[in-house]
Amino acid sequence: MPLYQPVSFINGQWEGAISGATFDVINPATGDVIEKVADLSAAECVKAIDAAQEAFPKWAVLTAKERAVALRCWFNLIHEHAEELTHLITEEMGKPLTEARGEVVYGASFVDWFAEEGRRIYGDVIAPHMADKRILAIKQPVGVVAAITPWNFPLAMITRKVSPALASGCTVVIKPSEDTPLTALAVCELASRAGIPAGVINCVTGMDAPAIGRVLTSDTRVRKVTFTGSTQVGKILYRQSAESVKKISLELGGNAPFIVFDDADLDAAVDGAILCKFRNAGQTCVCANRILVQSGIHDQFVKAFTARVVTMKVADGKTKGSDIGPLINADGRAKVEEHVKDALSKGATAICGGHIHEAGPLFYTPTVLTGVNTEMRMASEETFGPVAPIYKFDHDEEAIALANDTRYGLAAYFFTEDLSRTFRVYEALDYGIIGINTGIISTEVAPFGGVKESGLGREGGPHGIEEFLETKYGCIGIKP
């Protein structure tokens, strides 16, 4: 039995567009069409909301343990089909198989975590204000959830949103990226096999993302919207959701600084920067967008870092030993090219790279730029590609000011061996996630999310399930 059908998944059934319309899913490494997927209109998406609304009361009334059993079965099935999912992610998204394999494990970890976390949704008994009163506060699922997910982590961004929603008793309508719908559909198929009832998880495929987004945000039955993507789109969804005062979680753009102080362990800092910058070809919202290196260690760092970068293998993600896969599409490639061209025109130097790679039109050579300054576009915009701009600074205060000089506030990193500096910088950086002496910070057990224009709310950890709950206060009069 195939792991997915190339149509939408609504109320436990595979459904194509009424018009018969489809869109192509392209392998970015080869340019080949992988699949033609149903292109549903915005109006057809209402059927998914109908299904989620109808399924909600029956799912919400189950005990936390009953929901946990279903989620745990889903987790097991994801692991059983890990290799199929791995190859599917690489084929439609492009990341190397080793990274895709890691994403499957990471994505499954959220199902595992929230299967248990759903059993720890506790209320409160509050000391009353009067002798003849008793006060309770209970937590209940918010209702139907719209989950709008990106292409760069087509499995993990779904499980990170859907798992806490289901564990809390909510039902979900997923709108995956039109670039990577196949992984989403496969995940839904596995959820169905796990015994999660029809209508609890629905997945709508379609090219007209703005119109589908308007349907999901305007329908009053949708009580919560959770979105990962660009700040520009997040603001649109935020405005649209305000009309019906929905709960909303937004995980938006970043502009992550990666600070290396003079006293850092150089080898550890280089390792951390390589992992943080070049994972997924630099196409992550928490990858290092600006590498800030203190003057005393700057030249050593650039030399050691560049020596590692030039050895990276650029190839189709299915090729053994591939480190850097393709960019997702031509628009993504154009942005990288524009950022590098802008930096070079304003005085930066390309120590290596700086051009399209011979592997194909969507492959970009891993690039190291020095002499970067705040006048360049990449200082204020996400590059979202395998380009490492290196800035030089002299003092701690300068590094902190440079790091915080952005409207974004998702992730930041720094390397130091000084304990006092660790606390000073950790507290001073205006970001939701801080990596200290590490370039990898994502985990299911901790709260993931940003401040400023990087978003609202948290995903993962005990905080993640709170986003899908409402607190209901009860005041009970008793006879004295």
Residues recognised as catalytic:
251, 285
Q: In sequence order, what are the beta bridge partners of 50?
A: none
| The three-state (H, E, C) secondary structure of the chain, written as one string | CCCCCCCEEECCEEECCCCCCEEEEECCCCCCEEEEEECCCCHHHHHHHHHHHHHHHHHHCCCHHHHHHHHHHHHHHHHHCHHHHHHHHHHHHCCCHHHHHHHHHHHHHHHHHHHHHHHHCCCEEECCCCCCEEEEEEEEECCEEEEECCCCCCCHHHHHHHHHHHHHCCEEEEECCCCCHHHHHHHHHHHHHCCCCECCEEECCCCCHHHHHHHHHHCCCEEEEEEECCHHHHHHHHHHHHCCCCEEEEECCCCEEEEECCCCCHHHHHHHHHHHHHHHHHCCCCCEEEEEEEHHHHHHHHHHHHHHHCCCCECCCCCCCCCECCCCCHHHHHHHHHHHHHHHHCCCEEEECCCECCCCCCCECCEEEECCCCCCHHHCCCCCCCEEEEEEECCHHHHHHHHHCCCCCCEEEEECCCHHHHHHHHHHCCCCEEEECCCCCCCCCCCECCCHHHEECCECHHHHHHHHEEEEEEEEECCC
